A and B are shown apart, each in its own frame.
Chain A
């Protein structure tokens, strides 16, 4: 305590500083994250190579079976279904979200804070409650059918709930803010002079978009994709509440393996599969963001 660093340029002096305060901070942070973030993932990895056992859940018998089983037709079907749903959901969020983010990022600065806050509120709001809200909207005696029947547009309630479309609608509704916020962060930083320059040099609106705006906002697009794609595959209550089916997506499969089928190694293997997906997407993001702005996700808060 009370040591005096006499380096030139105080900030750099701070860097070689070895106070006990620094040691305590770094130790606390690293121990917590090591125990509660890194060890658990390591345990998942180990468990995914072990054998399930009916009496003691897991026995230490190394095997690759959990991974080879993933290629069974039943599992493969769920995997493909999940990929399909997650891809559709991500594309829809991108198509709806990009023009929206672009518009609010280019709106008058005194309105911008409020417009952004209105996206942030659903971002932080429980997605379960928002899924329930969608359920209330589309169920057989829900508001949508009631309105459509009342104005005579339909004569029988539309069976939207418990269908694939309902699951997709729920995913888009729940995850749209997760796409908009990183996009907004990127588009807002875009220098408007660049767009002007492109147009001065003779590029049309579409060409400016494709050649200038999209490439420059690519980190935002990838960050948004990351935040939409993975949850879309793994939010198990969306298919349960809106799809009615139990085994539609990878999330339900993991939940099922852990809480009902008691096949923890299998569940762990599926979880590792998702982790690998995530790793690949993060690498893609980092390579894209490197020259631009690495701490892009800061814009989320």
Chain B
């Protein structure tokens, strides 16, 4: 019984979480177009993916949006975390609450509310609408990632710096940012992941002129079962995996600095 709860039960849950993903990855290398019978190893589907020029454009769009949104969100997230940690200002508790609410808000609610904002202000759906939406989506996650590490900083450092005449900006740029760099990098990586994978919000705020990867995946999955989907999903899964692991390594590094 003890063994069951300690080892067998968790293994089943992990199997449940990973088996479907593994199947997609394995079949992206299967040399058969429809059948599920294993017909040998091939990289054919990956080559087809890379020869599809439409696909490359869409991927490039997603990566550009991801890099810009992650950079904006991790910058704003960092100053949000620093403000919450160091300052007392109007609406501080409200800001804490707002970040929490933004994390638990279903994406469809965010998506349509931004669509309403864009339509009320005549912002065309395309690059800008996506970038602003993705940045907004990532800010609370970035802020919370940085904030979770900022509390480990020794407050006497700021005191010492101020006694020596450092301005707030100097304290921020010469002390806080270098000390928190791993956490900021983690926030960037997680924001990039979110942007790269976001389907629901993007679905409402994207236009025909600027297609992005997650929506392309949705269209492919909905319309036809082409084996290239497996290849595309595998690449995205591996990309996410690397980003999340890198983010966790960065956060661990920051934990040590903070001690």
Query: Does B9 sit within 8 A of A, measured CB to CB?
Result: yes
Main secondary structure of the interface of B (DSSP, over half): helix
Query: Does B91 sit within 8 A of A, measured CB to CB?
Result: yes
Query: Does B66 sit within 8 A of A, measured CB to CB?
Result: no
> Are B190's CB and A301's CB within 8 A?
yes
The total of chain B residues at the interface (CB under 8 A) is 102
Residues of chain A lying within 8 A (CB to CB) of residue B5: 99, 103
Residues of chain B lying within 8 A (CB to CB) of residue A17: 87, 168
Which of the segments A41-49, A62-70, A190-198 contacts the partner chain? A41-49
Residues of chain A lying within 8 A (CB to CB) of residue B163: 4, 10
**Residues 140 to 188 of chain A near chain B (Cβ within 8 Å):** 141-143, 146, 173, 176-177
> Are A126's CB and B240's CB within 8 A?
yes
> Are B91's CB and A278's CB within 8 A?
no
A120–B186 alpha-carbon span in the complex (Å):
14
CB distance from A108 to the nearest CB of B (A): 10
**Residues 214 to 259 of chain A near chain B (Cβ within 8 Å):** 226-227, 230-231, 233-237, 240-241, 251, 254-255, 258-259
Partner-A contacts on B (CB < 8 A): 5-6, 9-10, 13-14, 16-21, 23-24, 27, 34-37, 76, 79-80, 82-83, 86-91, 95-96, 98, 100-110, 112-117, 119-120, 132-133, 135-136, 139, 141, 144-145, 147-148, 155-156, 158-160, 162-163, 165, 167-169, 172, 186, 190, 193-194, 196-197, 199-200, 203-204, 214, 217-218, 221-222, 229-230, 233, 236-237, 240-241, 243-245, 248, 251-252
**CB-defined A-B contacts under 8 Å, sample of 15:** A1-B167, A2-B165, A10-B159, A10-B163, A14-B158, A21-B169, A28-B76, A226-B104, A230-B106, A235-B108, A240-B222, A267-B112, A274-B106, A275-B105, A301-B190
